[in-house]
Amino acid sequence: MTADKKTAKMYNGSTLAYVGDAVAEVFVRSVLVECGISDTARFNELALRFVTAHAQSEAYSKISELVTEDEKEILLRGRNAKLTHRPKNQTQSDYRRATGFEALMGYLYLCGNEERAKELFEKSYEDVIFGIKNKML
């Protein structure tokens, strides 16, 4: 599904994060497969380096200065979205920033700008991806 920018901006932060969660998951799986990971236990272990609220909160921090004004608005909308719950073992600030990161991934996907989403994803996790590629993790 591809919406135009105007339509994508109309979605609330939670909706964008819902889509963005799936987009980020596809990127994670793609990275792991491209790095030659084939063992499911290893898959799951390494995926946690990307998908926890803490990891996504750090990703938010790494790209917050690299985004355009439109993208910054979406990061903030996601971060400030009304929370209905918080997973165990996560701080509220990590969870909020993770939601902002996912909202941006969802927004870019819905706008048809998957390349930009992938670019920001890779910049967010460049240390993790480097570690996996070089068998350091």
Domain 5-133 top-level CATH class: mainly alpha
- The residues assigned a catalytic role are 21
Identity (one letter) of the amino acid at 93? S
Quote the pTM value.
0.92
- Per-residue model confidence (pLDDT) at position 1: 58
What pLDDT, in 10s, does the model give residues 69-128? Answer: 999 999 999 999 887 776 678 888 999 999 999 999 999 999 999 999 999 999 999 999
- CB neighbours of residue 11 within 10 Å: 19
Give the domain ranges of the chain: 5-133
**Segment 13-56, tens digit of pLDDT:** 999 999 999 999 999 999 999 999 989 999 999 999 999 999 99
What is the band of 2 on the pLDDT scale with cuts at 50, 70, 90? Answer: low
Write down the pLDDT at residue 6: 84
Identify whether the C-beta of residue 78 lies closer than 8 Å to the C-beta of residue 116.
no
- C-beta atoms surrounding 33 within 10 Å: 11
